[in-house]
Structure 1
């Protein structure tokens, strides 16, 4: 299958290694991956700031850019959620409907489209804590959340268990928000920082060496707090761990 790779703005600008790992991982599992160079933002920042009409040209450009691919894959739950659920403001058309239905978050794609069952050669020797982003968990249902009754599951946990050497640590609050929330962290900095510090403390209590997530925006927030507090942990996108072949 041919996959159009959509890389969010903040990964492109600040964490390109997560984008490269996503590309390499998709190729390892047999996909033909194309990165359309004309791609831009999904439009989420504008929409979240109340300017959805101004974001419409960005939405339309996204549809034009990715409509020819079998699937569109993105290493960000928040961006995928935005395409899936907020592009309904566009005029209904076959292209719009098709792109929205074929846009997948990376873990969702690996589990439910590829049907991945093993990652030969994957190795990453470290104690890893999983941070579940709100968009990924409650929007895309990539794992269980405490407010819903149902079976326990996690796409990230399932995939990371395929990587030799990874020790997944337990957490007291597996589905608590990190406090980033995009512009929330700008408008409510004190509350945002306190929420982030709580998430970091939970990982520290259980001996994590690495915090991983499918949303680099959450990890960016946590990394900033850890740097200021000189916390001896690091952050990595889940694609980097799944793509790793060497000890940490």
Structure 2
């Protein structure tokens, strides 16, 4: 008996098409996107299970690549961003896990005057912030180095005080300052700030207001450990 022949179901013929869209693309400058124009072509890869909307799959693939790049650059970098994107999209690429191939694509990027101005302002702000942080780090390093030096010899505090406010020093300053550091070391070897604050208050109460304020700032710089939440000098004040 002859077996009936099974009818072979052929795969549907592959489709092909083009892409042509314009849409915003994020930039590294908040609130000021690029205007992106994407063109290209796509084709299906023969498959028993073709994608229902191959054009959408190809468009999405290209836009993800483009947006990942534009989001890291400012509107002032539109030429650089477009060159980077087109380097990646200018050759055929199979879309992962989907029977669609992006045969080629190309983008152009533009930015309006407001976006370019905002990008320039944002970059200038970032530069100024970095300079400010660098200056703070330098000042902190200098303060820590000074602190370590003075703590090794309390009498060096007098030299620092004299260099910054010579008008606040008299003949009693040196013994009082040496006594202060000696007693502070005895009372607060492990940072017991309450006792040290009372000691500083006693020391400073007879000074003039200007000398007292300057001493508070100076001793805070020399004896505070950065990162502590409670300063004995500020508590004393």
TM range, normalised to the smaller chain? under 0.3
The TM-score normalised by the length of structure 2 is 0.23
Greater relative contact order (Cα < 8 A, sep 6+):
1
Pair member with larger Rg = 2
The TM-score normalised by the length of structure 1 is 0.22
Which protein is richer in helix relative to its size? 2
